[in-house]
Each structure stands twice: as C-alpha cells, then as structure tokens.
Amino acid sequence: MGLVIRQSIYTTIISYAGAVIGYLNLLYLFPKFLEPEQVGLLRTVQDAAILLAPFATFGLAQSIFRFYPQLVKDKNTEAGFISLIALLALGGFVIFFAVFKLFETTILSYFEANARAIIEYASVVVWLTLILLLTSLLEAYSRSLLKLIFPALLREVVVRLCLAALVILYYKGYFTYTQFVIYTLLAYTFCLLLLIAYLSYLQKLSFTFNLRTLPAGKINALIVYSSLSFAGAAGMILIGKVDSMMVAGMLGLAANAVYTTAFYMATIIEIPKRALSQVAMPLIARAFEKNDLTEIKTIYEKTAINQFIIGVLLLIGVYINLDNIFSLMPKQEVYEAGKWVVVIVGVGKLADMLFGPSSEIIVLSKYYAFNILLLTALAGVVIVSNNMLIPIYGINGAAMGSALALITFNTLKYFFIWYKLKIQPFNRATLKVLGVALVTVGLNFLIPKFEILLLDVVIRSGVITGFFSLLVYYTKASPDGNAFLLMQLSRIGLRSKG
C-alpha cells in the first residue's frame, strides 16, 4: 500500500495543479472572453468526443490492465502486446467511423432545434475522438507500467495551460472562434505526441509484425474481454457525459455552458479518486493474478477510506464557498444558476468515492460481466430519467439524474462484491469520518461572514480544513494518512524521527 500512497500523492498534487488551471479557465477566462453559447459549444465538442471515444476503443483500455500482467513477460512479448493493441485500436476506430458516418444525420438531428452550431463541428468531434482514443490507451499502458506522473502531468496540466493560452490569444484577436476550436484539437494532439515520445524514451513502445510471441488463447480471451468491456466502458461514459449532451440538445448551448461549468466545479471532489484508482488498478490486477484476496481487501478498504476523507473535506469546502466562488466569476448573473448543480453532483461524486475501487475490483475479477450489464442498464436509466427530469427541473434535473445513477450504481456494486468475494470497504473509520464531517459543517455556521470575498474564502477554508484535519488525525480514521503526515513532519524537522 506504500506504493499506492506515494504515487497517488504525486499524481494528486498534479491533479490539483491541473484543477487550479481548470478553475481559472472555466470560472474566469472562458466566461470573461467567450459568450455562454461559445463556452457551451466548446464543452459540447469536448464532451461529445469523450462520450464517443469508448465506442471507438471497444474496451481495450480495460483489457490492457487485465492482460498486461498475463502476457508481458519480456521485450518480445511486450512488443507483441503493444502491436496487438495498436491493430485492435485501428480496427475499432475504422468500425466506429463507418457506423458514425452511417448514422451521422440521425445523431446530429438531435441538436437541430436548440444547438445547431454543433453540427458544423462534427468533423472536429470525430478527430478529437481519435486523439482521445489513442491517448486513453497509452495512458492505460503507462499505468500498467506504474508510470503515472508524466501522463497525469500532460492530461491535467499541459493541455489546460494550452487551452488557457488559446482563449487569451483568441480574445486578443489572433484567430477566429472556429480556429480556436480547431487549435483546441491540436492542443490534445500535442499532448498525445509528448506521451508517445515519453514511452519511446523509456523504450517501452516497440512494435512487431510477429504476434506469435503471444499465446493464441490469450489473444482470443483479450478480444472477447474487450468486446464485453466495451459495453461497460461505454455505459460508464454515458452515465458521466450524456447529461451534458442532453442539456445542449434540449435546453441549448448557453444552458450547457452553465451546466458543464457547475459540473466541473463539483468534479474537484473526485480528483483524489482518479489518483488513487490509477495506482490501485494495476495492483489489484496483479493481486488477482496471484489470487491474493487478502491484498485486494486491504487495497479496497484503505483506498475507500482515504478517498472518503479527502472527498468529504473537498465537498464541504466547495459548499461553504459557493456564494463566494460565483461572486468572483465574470457574468455571475448567468452562471450562478448552476449553484444547486454543484451541490447535487458533488453528493453523487462523494458517494462514488465512498465505495472505493469497486468497479476496478469487479472489472478485473472473473465477474466482470456483472459490471458491464449493470453499466449498460444504468446508462439506459440515466437517459430515461434525464428525459423526464430535464424538462421539469432544467439543469438541476440533469444533475439529479447523474447523482442518482452514481449512488445506485455504487450501492449495487457494493452488495455484489460483498456477496461474491466476501469483502467490503466499510468499518468504524467510515462512521468516524461521517461524524467529523457533520461537526465540521456545523462549525461553518459559527464562522462570521467577512465582506471581503477573498478574505472570507481564506479564513473560512483555513478554519474548516484545520478543524477537520485535526479531528481526522486524532480519531485515527486513516492510519496510512497519519503515518504519511508524521513522515513528512519528520522530513522538515517538525517531528523527531525517533
């Protein structure tokens, strides 16, 4: 678990650096320099590509995690494995592209009434889908190698810095909005090329036409697993992204700008989950390879409690500062309509963190088909519920659908793992953190409101963070977290090493 803590700390730092840049982009630069319809169009293009990418990968990213420990034994098998993934990825994109062109008119007609501008950027969506497809596969491969930091730096920091520079250059008049969207595609391409260069530098990106180094039976198993995982991966993205597509199609691009901006504000809560899961997944895969259920249980419990601690603190921090955040935004009167979206989605994201790496455990076990069937069913539920809730509650309805799907999904996974593997992530530490959270929220109401917004944010956040952290430390809810804190204090001389 030490490896999980150590690498997750670094990737979490990178993720939060990226979150700061992302917040600067979405909460200040984009609202200031772009009209709401332009923000909504850009977000719709990005979300559409993210939504379509899993359909083009056909579940290959999950297969990399599952089969890398089984197939890669030396340089020859490594080259064969990479070549097989590349061939399957190329074939998957060709099939996706053919299907997309066949139904392109039908797909785009959904946006005809309220978001017609997106139709003009359909080709950008397709190309961005290809770039995200290749990036996701190379990131999955890097994570299997336990090389997490540089890919995280590209994804979380570099691409967002590029977008910040592009929107400023657009505002200065160096290019048109259409060119700005195209240059956004090139920013993602630039990061993909850097990732390829990084893996090549590590001598981990070699190809061969000879796939005989890989057992034929394992290749067939990988293809079958990818085909089955395809539905699950597509279902997960549908749950996370179809809401913004439906908001754009049903309410328009300006409404989607408000919704996606508020949604992004809530996603800061799940950043620790991404970091911890990136490290935990290859370790879970290796534990399953050794049939070490005790190790899986340990990863399950410790990842869940650490995610929950950080997630609770972040949700409280976002909630207590919501009014201040919207007051600091350009076009506050437009974007503060998403206030309840932040809260509702935040609760859903916290529930997702509370249950730990349950999806990873199921996907990497022999019961992976359950996750696939569940995701497929829930994706359908999300679409139906959004069709019902968005016309009634607007963007809040989309947030309700998203949160409800996450809570339901995680509850069902919890009971399935408990039934099949006889393990579950909760203990008295979970109740301790919940109690600390309730006391901390109560403390917020005792802190006076300061007229200077930034001063209020700093004081309120500082008091709440300090109080919450001290209670978590003294309740010993996370022994790993306490040990890590003491080690860092020793390093900087604030605690004796003895």
Write the DSSP string, 235-288.
HHHHHHHHHHHHHHHHH-HHHHHHHHHHHHHHHGGGHHHHHHHHHHHHHHHHHH
- Distance (Å, whole) CA 271 – CA 16: 7
Tens-digit pLDDT string for the chain (498 aa):
455 556 667 777 887 788 889 889 988 999 999 999 999 999 999 988 988 887 777 778 778 877 877 777 777 777 888 888 888 888 888 888 898 888 888 888 888 888 888 999 999 999 999 999 999 888 888 888 777 788 889 998 999 999 999 999 999 999 999 999 999 999 999 999 999 999 988 888 777 777 777 777 777 888 877 776 676 666 667 777 788 889 999 999 999 999 999 998 888 888 778 767 767 877 888 888 888 888 899 889 888 888 899 899 999 999 999 989 899 899 989 999 999 999 999 999 999 999 988 888 887 888 877 877 787 777 788 888 889 999 999 999 999 998 988 898 899 999 999 999 999 999 888 899 999 999 999 998 888 988 888 899 999 999 999 999 888 888 887 776 667 666 655 665 555 444
CB atoms inside a 10 Å sphere around CB 158 = 18
Q: Buried (b) or exposed (e) across 253-266, using 16+ Cβ within 10 A?
A: bbbbbbbbbbbbbb
CB burial of residue 194 (10 Å; 0-12, 13-18, 19+): middle
C-alpha distances out from residue 370 to 134, 227, 359, 374, 446, Å: 27, 14, 10, 6, 47
Q: In terms of Cα–Cα distance, which of 390, 476, 491 is closest to 432?
A: 476
- Give residue 375's pLDDT: 76
Q: In terms of Cα–Cα distance, which of 44, 401, 35 is closest to 251?
A: 44
**In a 3-state reduction of DSSP, which class is residue 328?**
helix
**Residues 408/272, Cβ–Cβ less than 8 Å:** no
CB atoms inside a 10 Å sphere around CB 295 = 16
Give me 388's structure tokens: 């019902």
**Residues 253/120, Cβ–Cβ less than 8 Å:** no
- Distance (Å, whole) CA 375 – CA 379: 6
Residue 391 has φ and ψ, to the nearest 5°, of -60, -25
The helix-helix angle for 271-289 and 2-24 (nearest 10°) equals: 150
- Give residue 163's pLDDT: 96
Query: What DSSP state is assigned to residue 25?
Result: I
Contacts of 63 (CB under 8 A, 6+ apart): 85, 222, 225, 226, 229
Per DSSP (E only), the strands in 30-108 are: none
C-alpha distances out from residue 17 to 90, 157, 270, Å: 33, 7, 14
**Residues 434/406, Cβ–Cβ less than 8 Å:** no
**Interior CA angle at 475 toward 472 and 480, to 5°?**
70
- Give residue 498's pLDDT: 45
Residues in the chain: 498
**Residues 318/342, Cβ–Cβ less than 8 Å:** yes
Residue 175, phi-psi category: left (phi > 0), alpha (psi -120 to 50), beta (remainder): beta
Alpha helices in 321-367 (DSSP H): 322-328, 332-335, 339-354, 358-364
Q: In terms of Cα–Cα distance, which of 153, 456, 481 is closest to 310?
A: 481
- Give residue 141's pLDDT: 86
